[in-house]
Amino acid sequence: MKKFLLIISSLFVTSTVSADQPKDWQLGFQNAASESMKDIVNFHDNLLLPIIIAISVFVLFLMIYACIRFRASANPVPSKRTHNVAVEVLWTLIPCLILIVMAVPSFKILYKQDTIPKAEVTVKAVGYQWYWGYEYPDENIIFDSYMIEDKDLKENQPRLLAVDNELVVPVDKVVKVLITANDVLHAWALPSFGVKRDAVPGRINETWFKAEKVGTYYGQCSELCGIKHAFMPITVRVVSEEEYNEWLMDAKEKFAKEVIEEDHFKRLASK
């Protein structure tokens, strides 16, 4: 009985912990882990995709019909008609109506993403050539996040996505992200959360997310920024509030030591 309960509990834990990243031959979006991403997926799957399929089928039908109906053998004397007012009005109005149908819900999603709720956690992401720097302004925590080289990868760490220092946030909390860059344009993108903002030198952009599932989520810089653009991944680890508080205590000590050691080496180098 005890063994059975352990199996059931392990299945439950597995189902509640996510680790999302790009997959081989993937055609669709990554699994949604926030309300914003759910809105995007719903908009794409239930509105955009049916409209695009319908338009593609209709255009294909018109092409096939025109090829058969107006082929040279069926029309030895070609028509000299130059225009058709009714058709021209229809092919102008119908696309306009389709665009309006698509635009209204898409604007709602954009406005919702730009309206940041009261933040419970604030982090700052700074793009460098070629790594990310993170700050927790309210906790006085600052650290850099570098991609782990292939030779140093551990089991279950994805290539080109795993980093040495992950961004850690609590689950079910509104996380406000301040995004900027130190040198050139970068972009902080996390597909599972529906987040993508440009990192612009001298400017701070804002975005937010509220992760609904505990787990590890991966993204990448999405703005061409130089020779190592493909080697500055983003890793966000979503944990429970208790784990997050424990991480804060450890991070304050760990990264404070690193800053002290770095300053020490700088002083030695300057002598």
Report the C-alpha gap between 206 and 167 in whole angstroms: 17
Distance CA 84, CA 108 (A): 37
| Domain identity same for 86 and 191 | no
Cβ-proximal residues to 79 (8 Å cutoff; 6+ apart), any chain: 70
Judge whether 33 and 22 are in contact, CB under 8 Å: no
Q: Does one domain contain both 96 and 222?
A: no
> Is residue 5, in this structure, part of any structural domain at all?
no
Final residue belonging to a domain, choices 58, 87, 114 = 114
Q: For residue 18, what pLDDT is reported? A: 56
- d(CA 244, CA 96) in angstroms, rounded, equals 49
The backbone torsions φ and ψ at residue 80, rounded to the nearest 5 degrees and listed phi first, read -110, 15
Per the domain annotation, does 26 fall within a domain?
Answer: no
Q: What is the pLDDT of residue 246?
A: 94
Query: Within this chain, do residues 108 and 227 fall inside the same structural domain, yes or no?
Result: no
Within-domain flag for 18: no
Backbone φ, ψ for residue 30 (5° rounding): -70, 160
Q: Which of 225, 221, 248 is nearest to 235 (CA)?
A: 221
Query: E strand or H helix at 111, and its extent?
Result: helix 85-114
Radius of gyration of the chain (CA): 26
- Distance in angstroms (rounded) separating the CA atoms of residues 237 and 255: 17
Among 114, 135, 160, residue at a domain's last position: 114
How much is the pLDDT for 16?
Answer: 44
Please identify, among 85, 114, 143, the residue that sits at the C-terminal boundary of a domain.
Answer: 114
Under DSSP, the state recorded for 164 is S
Which three-class secondary structure state does DSSP give residue 27? coil
pLDDT at 190: 94
pLDDT means over runs of 10, the chain (271 residues): 41 48 82 92 94 95 91 82 87 94 93 91 96 94 94 90 94 96 95 94 95 93 94 95 94 73 48 52
CATH number, residue 191: 2.60.40.420
Count of domains forming the chain: 2
Neighbours of 162 (CB within 10 A): 20
Contacts of 53 (CB under 8 A, 6+ apart): none
76 and 156: one domain? no
What CATH number is associated with residue 84?
Answer: 1.10.287.90
Same domain, residue pair 162 and 186: yes
The verdict on 260 and 137 lying in the same domain is yes
At 5 the pLDDT is 40
Q: What's the pLDDT at 2?
A: 42
State which residues form the domain around 56. Answer: 35-114
Q: What is the rounded CA–CA span in Å between residue 21 and residue 8?
A: 26
